[in-house]
Every structure is written in C-alpha cells, then in structure tokens.
Chains A and B, each alone.
Chain A
C-alpha cells in the first residue's frame, strides 16, 4: 500500500481509539469508534480478493449496526436522564442495549459469528489489528458503564468461553482458530469485568501480548493453515522451538504468562463465591487448549510427511524483517516470562 495512505490510515486508527478512550460524552465515544471502523476498512480490503472484500463488508455492517445501536441507546438514555455522561448511566434498558452493542463490536457470543469470517478474510497483519487494537476501545467503554445487569455479562462470558473452545476444534485455517481463541479470551475478560476492572485490564493486556506474538509468528512463517505450519522447522528453527510455549501460554498453562490472568480471574470469582462460574470457565479453557496443542504438535513436536523440495522453499529476500517482526522478541518475552512478575504488574494497573 502507498506509504502515505498507510500512515493516514494507521494514524486514524490510533486517533479513533484515543478519542474513545479520552471521552466522557457518548457522542465523542461513538465518533471515536466510527473513525476506527472506517480507518481499518481500506486496510482490510486492500487485497482485492473476493474474500477480503466480503470480510470488509461484513465487518463494516456489523460495526455500523453496533455503533448505530450504541448511539440510539445513548441518546435515549440522555433524553431520559438529562445528561450524556458515560459513567453515570442509569436506565437499565438502554444500559443493556449499549452493552449488547459493545459486545457485538467485540465479537462475543452469541454475536460472534462475524469474527471468524472477517479475520479469515483479511491478511495476518490486519487480522492482528482487528484482534488486538480494535478490542481496546469497546473494552474501555464497557469498563466505564456501571449498572450492567450482572447475569448478562456472566452468561455471555461463559457462553463465549465455551463457544470459543468448541468452535475452534474443527478448524484448519489458522486465522479462524485465532478468531475463536479471541472469542474465548474475551469471554474470560468479560467474566471478571463487573467485579474487578484492574484484573480485566490485566487480562486484556496479556491477551494482546499473546495474540500479537502468535500473529507475528504466523506472519514470519507465512503460514495460514495447519498444514503450512509443518515446514516452520525449515524456515525458522528458533521459532519452532518457542512456538509450542507460546501456544501453551495462550492455553493458560503455568509457568507461562497466560496462566496469570486465568489464575487471578478464578481467584476473584471464588472469593465472590461464584464457584460454579469459575468451574465452568476453567473446564471450558481445556477445549481451547486442545486446539493449541494440535497446533504445537504440527509446528514442533512431530514431523509431517514431506518431500525434499518442500523443505527447501524458495526464500526470496529472506529473512524478511518487517517493522512488526522486530516486535516479535518483545511480544514473545512478555508471553512467556511474565508470570513471576505478576505482583508488580498488577500494582501498575490497579
């Protein structure tokens, strides 16, 4: 893409999220969300492939619907309440409507069906942006709404974890797998959102690190299906070494960073006596772990049947070092080694 255009789009993306994060009025928050949506659409559609166009269209329709619902509910609430402050909403119906709109934007169950299709249709870099950056703005808005009906968030959270686990089981396309993994992780974040905003932020942060590391790794291996992962050992042996650890961190195994959010979320839930919720969430995490394990089997732990030419692929201008791939060591370090540093990490957020 034309570098000037890229700069404009990425800046708009950042601007949109920053606008939402710094707003107290619903109109400005909506504005930020819309700017973000519009900025990412050319990035999604730049490939001129029917699937990319379809993904961009679906993304636009979904996000526009959500934003319109958001605006409608916000204005209704303002009409009834007299002010349009994000943090002091009181009408239960419109609060729920706004929450559902934001959850549609995030792609949580049962409003998740667009996520796998959209992330599958776009390139890996754009999928990274959709999975990580675009989640920040709606999440911050959710944090600020006070009077959400508790069972709503709990049921949607648990449903997301279950659907994220089950949906990913039958996939071979890596971007779809990462979409379902996204849904599952956001479900965990949603579970704890109403009880502890600090833990939700921490969980989101760790999720962003882990997902970034995974997307950048897949971009470096140029792999979009499970079969294409099997030649990673020929291209990047070091990545082959570390990839299982990264995937098991996504699955939430100690001593990797991914365990920390799960541990603290379960701790908070048990302290508040939500033990059935904690148990269901914990067991549903095993579903996600099974497809992460499958991926780590194909990357490192087994050697697929292949022939010699496949192992010696044409590598033109290799190693390709994009700006994003220089972030890989940092993302990987944060994905793997953050668990012992959790107390200090938590004090930064609380």
Chain B
C-alpha cells in the first residue's frame, strides 16, 4: 500500500516543483504509473479475504475495485482539467493539482482503512478538497450555495456517526473491521436500537444519496468544475455505499424492519429522480439526477442485505462510476466550447463533432444499461435481489429502468441529433486529449464485460 500512498503524496511536491511546460504531462504520467501499480490490488488470493494486510490498511474484494477505480480516476481528472485551467495562473494550476492529489490520498486511505475511526477521519477529509474545488473553481454564483449544502448535509449526519462509532468502540472495545466481522451481534437495548441504526447509516445514506436527502447532489455536481464532478460522481458517492456495506456487518441482526422506510424511499426515489431527468434543461443537472437514480438503486440493494444485493450493488457502483464520470466529461467538452450547459443550445453536435458522437452513443448506451455491459449486470442482479425480497418492487424497478432508458436516449438524441444551432457551426474540433479521456473511461467498462469477477466483491 505504501508503494501507492507515498508516490501519491509526493505528487504534491512534483506539482510544485515541475516547470510550467511539464506540469501537466508530469503529473499525468506519474498518476498513470501509480494507477498501473494499483491494478495489482484486484488480485485477491487470500482465504480470509483481506490482502495487503497490516494493522491500519488492508484491501479486500469489496474495497479493491473501489480503490482501483479511485486510482484510475486521478489521471483522468488531471487529463480533463487541462483545458479549462490553461488560462489560470501557474500557481493556481499547481494548487488545483495539489487539491486533486490530497483528495486522492484521503480516498485511498478511506477505502483501505481497517479501523472505522480512520475511515471516518478520511471520509471527512475528502470534504475539504471537494469543497474548495466546488466553491473556488466552479463557474456560477450558485457554487457557494452548493458548497454550503454539500458540507452541511454531509456533516449534519456524519457527526452522529462519529458519536455512534465512539459508542461502538466503548461497547466492543475495538473498531477494527478485522475483528468486528467476527464479533457477532452486539447487545443493544431495544429502545436505542432505532437511534443506533439510524445514526450509523444516515451519514452514508446522505452521501449515496438517498432520495429524501439528495438535494446537495444536483447542486454540487452542477456547480463543480469537471474534475470535481468526476470525482464526486465516480468515487465520493461510492464512499457512502462502501461505508454502508461495512457498517451493515455490525448492525445486521437489528435491521429487519428498520430498513423498510429507507428501501421505500429508495424505490420511490428511482422513479422520481428518473422522471425529473426528462424535464431538465441543464445537461449536467440531468446527469446529476441520473447519478441519484442509479445510486438510490444501489442503496436499496445494500439495505436488503442479501448476497446478491451486495454483489449487484458493488458491480453497479463500479460501472456507474465509470459511466457517470464519462457522462460528465462529455458535456464538459461542449461547455469548454460554448460555455453553456443548456441542452437546447448544444444540440445537433453529431454534425459538427462526429467522433465525439461515438462516445456520446457508447456512454448513453452504458447509462441505459445495455447488455452486456456491467451496468446491466449490476442493475439486473439488484432487480432480481429486490424481486426476491418482495415481488412488488418490480413495479418500481421496472418502471425506473424504463424511464432510465428513456432519458438516456433523450439525452443522446437532444445533444447529438436534430438541427444544428447557428452559433455552433464553427467550433474547435475534438482534441485527442478528449478522445483519450473518453477512451480511458469506456475501455475498462468494455473490458469488465469479460471478467466481472473482479468487481463483484466477496458476497457472491
């Protein structure tokens, strides 16, 4: 683990000492090398599931796909930010890269933590770089409100989580995941049962987000710069799912009836957020609500706590991470040319940027869960798991899947087909940087078709 953590930490001096001409290529190259090393985590041959084990850091089949996704995303964020930061002064470019690297460090340590306290501290640490990214480098005035919503929604629920973790440490004597998984049910008086359960999971449900507490997400995703949107959509939401899966181990015997309201919220949220996507005028807002609709499905799957549910949740998290990140990169290419996110103003780009239309097509097809992509694998496993849990859920998940396909197709047709507006006729052609960016998003997705065992975790 240190062979990834120390180079990532040293990317910060690299970004400050590199010459102006070599800043972006250097940081890009080094983050790619670290990504290459991180692919080694995907191989897990230990019988106890924990590999690269030491008292503070370990990886298991649940966290290693998320870790690899995190490491994969840093070079992609650096690649995506190159264009819009080119006009910033050099110092600010260096600060930006430092922020991305700090975010990366805290994410790696969060996913790899064995102690729940370390996980909590790193979970909160990811808030500061993201807040600075959103509020400093966002493009509209609403970014301040977005930063406030983001910070306070997360903190208002994670402070009770801190208290719950401390109380848990008091009861069991340890917060190490290696030990807690072996402990068995925790004796808690029934009256505080509900509070215990709620405070443990609410922080992660807000992060995922669950439908009722999802308001921060469209704000934060829309106002963030591209690297912020990518990391938010791809990795930060998965922190919530990962945290939930870890905490459920400790809480499991208590949770049978307690999770009903949340599952119902989640299923209703699938329908609601998918439907609202069809009425969005802002492209990034559409993708943000699409993120919400996928992640509430993941939340529902984790809450029912069946093996298939957890497997489907992890597969959909990874697939959604790559797809959503690609989906944010695509309107960003439009935004850099037209400085507008409104869908009516960026129509018909297939005529002007035909190669980009290929990526739009593949990404929208991935978003609507076309077989054989892992998006479908995840969705199908989750739908089956929910169906096994209760037959009525098929109404919500089926309708939700239908509306998902509808708005994904709608997004593709609105941006690519149709009449070309007059102001868009002379745009810069797509750069090879953008093509590389999207290839690197979609290639892993296509490769995962052939080996889904890497991302289906330990529950299968």
Do chains A and B stick together as partners? yes
In the complex, the chain B residue whose C-beta lies closest to that of A272 is B170
Set of chain B residues within 8 Å of A244, measured between Cβ atoms = 132
Among B157-176, those with CB < 8 Å from A are 159-160, 162-163, 166-167, 169-170
> Which residue among A244, A245, A301 has the maximum number of chain B CB atoms within 10 Å of its CB?
A301
One of A160-168, A213-221, A278-286 at the interface: A278-286
Contacts of B152 in A (CB 8 A): 286, 289-290
Contacts of B148 in A (CB 8 A): 290, 293
A266 at the interface (CB under 8 A from B): yes
- Minimum CB–CB distance from A342 to chain B (whole Å) comes to 11
**Which chain A residues border B135 with CB–CB below 8 Å?**
297, 301-302
Asked if B95 lies at the interface with its beta carbon under 8 angstroms from chain A, I say: yes
Give the contact-size bracket for chain B: 20 to 34
Proximity string of chain B (136-168) to chain A, C-beta cutoff 8 Å, 1 when within and 0 when not:
100000001001100110011001101100110
Q: Are B167 and A301 in contact (CB under 8 A)?
A: no
Q: Which residues of B contact A253 (CB under 8 A)?
A: 124, 127-128, 155
Residues A300 and B127 in contact in the complex (CB < 8 Å), given A255-B121, A266-B162, A293-B148 = no
Assuming the contacts A301-B144, A302-B135, asked whether A248 and B163 have C-beta atoms less than 8 A apart, the reply is no
In the complex, whether A271 has a CB less than 8 A from a CB of chain B is yes
Distance of A138 Cα from B167 Cα, bound (Å): 32
Once the chains bind, are A270 and B170 in contact (CB under 8 Å)? yes
Q: Given the complex, which residues of B lie within 8 Å of A275, measured CB to CB?
A: 163, 167
Which residues of chain A are within 8 angstroms of B167 by Cβ–Cβ distance?
Answer: 270, 275
How many A residues face the partner with a CB closer than 8 A? 29
- Assess the B170–A289 pair: CB atoms within 8 A: no
> How long is the Cα–Cα vector from A212 to B22 in the complex, in angstroms?
39
B125: interface (CB < 8 Å): yes
Closest residue of A by beta carbon distance from B155:
A286
In the assembled complex, which residues on chain B have CB atoms less than 8 Å from the CB atom of A337? Answer: none
Neighbouring A residues of B124 by C-beta, 8 Å: 253-255, 259
Q: Is A143 close to B, CB under 8 A?
A: no
Residues from chain B with a CB closer than 8 A to the CB of A339 are 121
Chain A residue numbers with a CB within 8 Å of B155 are 253, 286, 289
CB B342 to nearest CB in A, in angstroms, measures: 24
Are A254 and B125 also in contact (CB < 8 A) when A266-B166, A301-B136, A301-B147 are?
yes
List the A residue with the shortest CB-CB distance to B163.
A278
CA gap between A47 and B121 in the complex, in Å: 45
**Complex interface: chain B residues within 8 A of A279 (CB):** 159-160, 163
Cα–Cα, bound, A289→B128 (Å): 13
Cα distance, A282 to B124, chains bound together (Å): 14
A89 to B151, CA, bound (A): 46
Assembled-state Cα–Cα distance A297/B147 (Å):
10
User: A282-340: which have CB < 8 Å to B?
Assistant: 282-283, 285-286, 289-290, 293, 297, 300-302, 339
Check: A169 CB closer than 8 A to any chain B CB.
no
In the docked arrangement, what's the CA distance between A241 and B106, Å?
20
A234 on the B face (CB < 8 A): no
Shortest CB distance A38–B (Å): 42
User: Do B144 and A283 touch across chains, with their CB atoms under 8 A apart?
Assistant: no
**Given A267-B166, A297-B144, are A255 and B136 neighbors across the interface (CB < 8 Å)?**
no
A270 partner residues in chain B, CB cutoff 8 A: 163, 166-167, 170
Q: A282-B160, A286-B156 are in contact. Are A293 and B125 (CB under 8 A)?
A: no
Contact across chains for B159 and A285 when beta carbons are under 8 A apart? yes
Assess whether A72 is interfacial by the CB under 8 Å rule.
no
Q: How far is the CA of A283 from the CA of B202 in the complex (A)?
A: 14
Q: Contact check, A300 vs B159: say whether CB atoms are below 8 A apart.
A: no
Per the bound structure, the CA–CA distance linking A82 and B384 in Å amounts to 80
Complex contact A266–B163 (CB within 8 A): yes
Q: 11 A-B pairs, CB-CB below 8 angstroms?
A: A245-B128, A254-B124, A267-B166, A270-B163, A275-B167, A285-B159, A286-B159, A290-B152, A297-B147, A300-B132, A302-B136
Inter-chain pairs besides A254-B121, A300-B136, 20 sampled, C-beta below 8 Å: A245-B128, A253-B127, A254-B122, A259-B121, A259-B124, A263-B162, A270-B163, A270-B166, A270-B167, A278-B163, A286-B155, A286-B156, A286-B159, A290-B148, A290-B152, A293-B148, A297-B135, A300-B132, A302-B135, A302-B144
